[in-house]
Structures are given as structure tokens and as C-alpha cells.
Structure 1
Amino acid sequence: MARRLLSIGECMVELMQADGGLMRKSFAGDTFNTAYYARLFLPTDWSVDYFSAVGTDTISYEMLAFMEGHGIGTGDIARIEGRAPGLYMIHLNNGERNFSYWRSVSAAKLLARDPHRLRHAIEAADVVVFSGITLAILPFEDVDTLLAELRRAKASGKLVAFDPNIRPRLWDSAERMRATISDGARAATLVMPSFDDEAAHFGDASITETITRYRALGVADVVVKDGANGATLAFGEAKFNVPSATVEQIIDTTSAGDSFNGGFLARYVLTADAASSASFAAELAASVIQHHGALVPRDKLPA
């Protein structure tokens, strides 16, 4: 029987460095990146769909064609007149990245405006993916709408995966950011945070503190990503570390965590083996950061 992964969030126009001082255009965004990598490694009896909103302009239709060309369904993406996709530019310094953003009229900010469309899409999915960025871009009332539907999905037994992906510049206050991230975790069955974010913004002194805090919010399973230190997993009563993979040269760390998430989910939903899924995801992320841009072609990735 066909199964379905639904990823919810914002895809943006991506401008990245190219040869000769030029910029190369692509499309990316945290939950879309996760969907892209999941699609690469899931079998054909799984569909991968994106839930978002775009405009009715030329670049919006280019984005939809790009998604469809990479096997990601766009039937749950709303078209909103007068809106357009956001845009970001990657700036690199020895492989580490920072970004400039232009997203004031981003259509994705209205992705949860229609609660019936949202409920229908989530009910049709087996796995649902969202992030702290998904929550950060939405109006207050739409955050409540989205989280209510995700709690319904969790209660019905779906795998609801949440990456807190903490970006302070997207929030109007640190207090609301922490509160909303915590609410997002309460709606999830699997949380996949990055330890540096959790230490910086929640004050966690150790990975054990991060796991304990999310478990106290009702999260069943936790995968804490910690860069070169690998990932620490807490699944059921088991807690264990999976080492990072060898990286010859870091070119661009964009999408390191997103690709890990997509690789992990693609393996985990097939095998239910968290350790081997994390090992595969670590190999995938290590390969991704040795190339430019968020989305690396399949032929440059692990077999």
C-alpha cells in the first residue's frame, strides 16, 4: 500500500556562490530540503509531498516545476494572488554560512490560513515533518491552527517529526520563541534538535539536559545532532551515540541538518532501526557539506 510523507513549511529562492563572482539560482528551505533528501532515498511506493503556499508569479511557477521535477508533490501548495516566494542569499566563510533574507511578502506565511485544506493534507499522510521556522513565519492564530492539527495527527498514531531549527531573527521575542518551540515539541513524536541551538537558546549544559527537557514535553523519541560529535539518540529506554562521518573538506554547511533529517526519516520509516538510520544520515550529511548549496544531486551522494 502506498504511503505518504508530508513536509510543511517555506521553500525559498536560493542564491549561492558560483564561479567568476556569479550567483546561481535554486530553490530551498529547511523542510523542503528534508523532503528532497527523503524523496531521494524512499522507495517508489512512498509519495513525498510539500505543504506550503506560493504566489501566481513566474518564479512561483518555476518553483513548483522544480519541486515536481524532483518527485515532490505540489498538490497541497496554495496559490495566493499578490504574494511571492521569499529569497535568501548564502554567504560563505571557510565553509560556514550565514544568510541574507528577503521574505516580507512570502506566500508561505499564509500556509495555514485554510484549516480544512491543512487537515485534509495531514490526515492523508503517514509521516508529517515541520520545523521551528515553519512556526516562526506564521501569524499567531495560524500557529495555533497548525499545532492543533499536528496534535490530532500525533494522537492518531502518525509519526510527527519536528526540527526546532531555532532562528532568533524570525521571532519577536526570545520568550515567545522558546514557548512556541516547546509547543511544537508537544505536538511531535520525534524531535531532532541541534545541540548548539539548544545550548544557546534554552541554556542546556549537556545533551542529556536537552533530551530530558524534550521528554518532559511528551516527546517519545529524540535525536540530538551535534556536528562533528555525531548524534545522540534516545528511543524508548535506549540512549546511544552515533558518530559523525569523515569529511575531507567542508565546502558549504547549508542543509547539513536538513539532509540528516531527510536521510534519517527515509531509513527509519522502512527499518524502524534508529541506530542504522542515524549512521546513514550522518554519511549523507557529511557528503552534502562537501558540495555547494542546499540540494546536492543524487550522483554526488552515497550509494
Structure 2
Amino acid sequence: MTRLLCIGECMLELAPAEAPETFRAGFAGDTFNTAWYARRLAPAGLEVAYMTAVGQDTVSERLEVFTRAAGIVPDFIRRPDRTLGLYMIELTEGERSFAYWRGQSAARTLADDLDDLPGIGPGDMVYLSGITLAILPEAGRARLLAALDRARAEGVRVAFDPNLRPRLWPSADVMRAVVMEGARRADIALPSFDDEATWFGDSDIAATADRYATAGARMIAVKDGPRPVLLRTPDGAAWVAPRPVDQIVDSTAAGDAFNAGFLIGLEAGLPPTEAVQQGCDIAAKVVARRGALADI
């Protein structure tokens, strides 16, 4: 792989600061978080790029500066009449909840004029999530899925985190149907068991892995919070236990960081179980700090 292309929405983030009732502004979003951590872990010669739509206003320009400074290539589509979405994190004993203002965000238009995915070729990887699919209108979603099909036909691999967020969907049935459409394009699936059990009714973590394997994924890593990750590959299944975490300050982006550590570990030649362990180790560092993007 010479390019990892992450696709989705990067938003303006308001995260709790040290002083009570104060917030720190930054940029984050599930697939952007993965790109950010991947860039820090990626070996020389691997380009990390981020595809989204932004506005032509000051905050969008600041995002491009931030993205370039992080070493990520911005594949930005500019919309003069839109800007970034906004979200605010609230923390209770390290667990987070979110308030969103994203209805007219530019990222919802990222696939409006899409034909082929930019700058990728055989052996490269595309990474997207269920949130990427959720924010798009039906026609844009169809264009993105078709572009993924064309890319896979040319030898590009697809990694997919279902990242189930029912508030973004018109109904749970639509969410389940579209997420599995995404899963059918995935070579690597990265689900989280709690969400999958809640919305798909999976009886145990193995049932989640089975469903994504049936959809076509050849490698599946089922995350389960602090509990062991179930890794399923064509060679069989293995359990990988995360190392204990002393204190959880902010669980924001833990799964995104895991995905980066795992995918880059695979590309660096680590055995899959060691790539899972690297993902767990990166996630452990992230939950010990505030905000989505933390030093690792």
C-alpha cells in the first residue's frame, strides 16, 4: 500500500477543558481521527489522505491548514454555500455524550459529483465508516458505493467500521440495511460488539464476526471495550486481550485510534494478532487524555 484514503466528515469539535464549564476548540470526526492516528504510526512511503467536502470560509481554511500540518493530504471538495458541522463533547466519569449541529454541513455533499476515488490504485486502501454512509443523501451514497466497487475491481482494499449511530438515520431498519451494504464492500470489518448486539441482536461476539464474514469480509476485528478483541481471518479465530488501563479520562475516539493502530500494523507487516495488540495499545493511550486527538 502506498496510500490510505480515509473518507468522511471532519467537524469542529468543542471538548471539555480543564477549567469547569469551558471548552477547547479543535477538529475531529471518526474517520478523520483514524487518519490522524494512522499518519503518526505510518511507515515512510505510506501517504495518508482524507477525502471530504468543506466550505470556502475561514474555519474550512483552518481545517486544511490543520490537516496539512498533521501530514495528511487533504482531498477536499469546496462548497461555497456550506461549512463544517459542529459537535460538543460532554463527559461523565470518562464516558462521553455528544450534541451535534451538522444538518447543513458540507461533508453531506462529498459524493454529489463523485466518479472515481482520488489517487488510489492496486494495493492501496480506502477506509470509511457507517457515519460516512449515514450523512450522505441516498443518491450520494449510491455514488460512493459504486466508486468503492470500481476501486475494488482494480485491486484496492476497503476497510469499514460500521460505527452505528441511529440518530443519523431515518430508522433502525434503514441503518441496518445500508450498513450491511457497506459491509459487502469490505475486505476488513471493524465492528464494536455492544453496538452490534443492540442494533442487530447478535447473541455474542462470535455472531457479530460471523455476520460480517458472511457479508464478505476476509478479516474481522470485533472490538468489545476493555474486553478481548475477537480477530477472525481466513486462518481461523483468535482472542487478543487489551492491556489494563489505569484510568479512563475520555473515551472519545478510542475505536478510531484502535482502527488506525490495527490497519497500520497490518501494513507494517505485523502478524494480525500483533496488529490488534497495537490497536489496543494506541486506544489505551487515547482514553487517558481529553479530546479526540491526543499525543501518542
- How far does residue 49 in structure 1 lie from its aligned partner after superposition? 0.4
Instruction: State the Cα RMSD in Å.
Output: 1.3
For structure 1, which segment, 19-28 or 54-63, has the greater mean C-alpha deviation from structure 2 after superposition? Answer: 19-28
CA apart distance, 1:123: 4.2
The corresponding residue for 1:103 is 102
For the 8 Å contact 2:16–2:23, the answer to whether it is kept is: yes
The aligned residue for residue 193 of structure 1 is: 191
- What per-residue deviation string (whole Å, max 9, x for no partner) do you get for residues 212-232 of structure 1? 111111111111000111211
State the alpha-carbon separation in 1 of the partners of residues 121 and 209 from structure 2. Answer: 29
Separation in 1, partners of 2:152, 2:203? 29
| Candidates 265, 271, 274, aligned match of 1:273 | 271
| Partner in structure 2 of residue 73 of structure 1 | 73
List per-residue Cα deviations over 1:77-131 (Å, max 9, x = no partner). 1110110000000000000000000012200000011223x43444487010000
Read off the aligned partner of 2:62 and give its amino acid letter: E
- Number of residue equivalences: 295
Identify the residue that residue 211 of structure 2 maps to in structure 1.
213
Question: Structure 2: which amino acid aligns with 1:92?
Answer: L
In the alignment, which residue of structure 2 is the partner of 1:119?
117
CA distance in 2, matches of 1:43, 1:29: 23
SS of the counterpart of 2:289? coil
Q: Which residue pairs with 1:228 in the alignment?
A: 226
Match of 1:29 in 2: 29
SS at match of 1:227: coil
Q: Distance in 2 between the 1:135 and 1:86 partners?
A: 16
Residue 12 of structure 1 corresponds to which residue in structure 2?
A: 11
CA–CA distance in 2 between the matches of 1:121 and 1:109? 21
CA distance in 2, matches of 1:181, 1:42: 28
**Unpaired runs of at least 5, structure 1:** none
The CA distance in 2 between the partners of 1:14 and 1:213, in whole Å, is 34
TM-score of the superposed pair, with normalisation by structure 1:
0.94
Contact conserved, 1:53 with 1:111, CA < 8 A, in 2?
yes
Mapping for residues 121-200 of structure 1, pairs under 5 Å: 121-123=119-121, 126-200=124-198
C-alpha distance in 2, partners of 1:195/1:152?
Answer: 30
Given residue 31 of structure 2, which amino acid in structure 1 is its aligned partner?
Answer: T
Letter in 2 for 1:194: S
The structure richer in helix per residue is 1
Identical aligned residues as a percent: 47
Q: 1:285 to 1:153 in 2, by over 3 A?
A: same
2: distance between equivalents of 1:260 and 1:294?
A: 12
User: What letter is aligned with 2:83?
Assistant: A
The alignment partner of 2:268 has SS state of helix
CA distance in 2 between counterparts of 1:295 and 1:289 reads 10
